[in-house]
Amino acid sequence: MKTKLLFPLLGALSYFAGPALAQTDDVPSSKPQAVAPYKTSLGFRTTWGGPSGIDSELRLKHFVGPQSALELQVGQWHYQRAYQASLHYLWQPQLLTSSRLRPYAGLGIGAVGGSRDRFNEKQDMEVGAMLLASVGIEYTFPRLPLAISVDYRHMMLGLNTNNFEYFGHSRISTLGVGLKYTFGK
């Protein structure tokens, strides 16, 4: 019954939304001759909140195109002695109004692992895979080789992450502030 309703609704949506989406020539989304603000950056991201307090992670970002970058993130969550590593593909357009302030959005894959102490007995390390999404904004300073960012990272899907008993989505999804040293132009 649900599929009988779903297909006509999708058909009607595509019929009405198709012409509206096709007429996006008048709406500028990013600068046509965009350039990357830097080639590579190395820095850290600090997150806060919850019982884990303040946590930091190392970030390495490399632009592979004028508006696209790969970012490696490695860090420790102090709660339950857990660690995470992820690789993100980021789309970071250059706006028409500013070349220094750039929003970004991306997807990433990663792994989270940790060990627990239960009844004063150390448990084996467990590892789970995850799919992450991130959105944020970054500002590159004009005369300093520094960039600052504010972002939100959300875990969309986790495989074997339910083994972390008190380690739910709310502790993997984080709001953070980053500071990076930039190399090259």
- pLDDT at residue 120 above 70? no
**Paired tokens of 36:** 């990357």
Assigned domain for 20 exists: no
pLDDT at position 180, please?
Answer: 96
Structural domains of the chain, count: 1
Assigned domain for 122 exists: yes
Assigned domain for 22 exists: no
Give dist(CA 178, CA 43) in Å, integer: 7
- The three-point CA angle 38-44-45 to 5° equals 110
pLDDT at position 19, please?
Answer: 53
pLDDT tens, position by position, 92-105: 998 888 888 999 99
Mean per-residue pLDDT, 46-50: 69
- pLDDT at residue 1 above 50? no
- pLDDT at residue 2 above 70? no
- Where is pLDDT greater, at 35 or 45? 45
| CATH code where residue 66 lies | 2.40.160.20
Which residues on adjacent β-strands are paired with residue 4? none
Assigned domain for 15 exists: no
| Domain around 58 | 31-183
pLDDT tens, position by position, 136-182: 999 999 889 999 999 998 877 766 655 544 444 555 677 889 999 99
Assigned domain for 8 exists: no
Assigned domain for 74 exists: yes
Which of left, alpha, beta for 94 (phi over 0: left; psi -120 to 50: alpha)? beta
CA nearest to 86, candidates 64, 108, 60, 116 = 108
Mean per-residue pLDDT, 36-54: 80
Assigned domain for 19 exists: no
Assigned domain for 11 exists: no
CA nearest to 140, candidates 91, 78, 94 = 94
Are the beta carbons of 92 and 70 closer than 8 angstroms?
A: no
- Which residues does 75 contact at the CB level (< 8 Å), separation at least 6? 45, 55, 56, 57, 58, 83, 84, 85
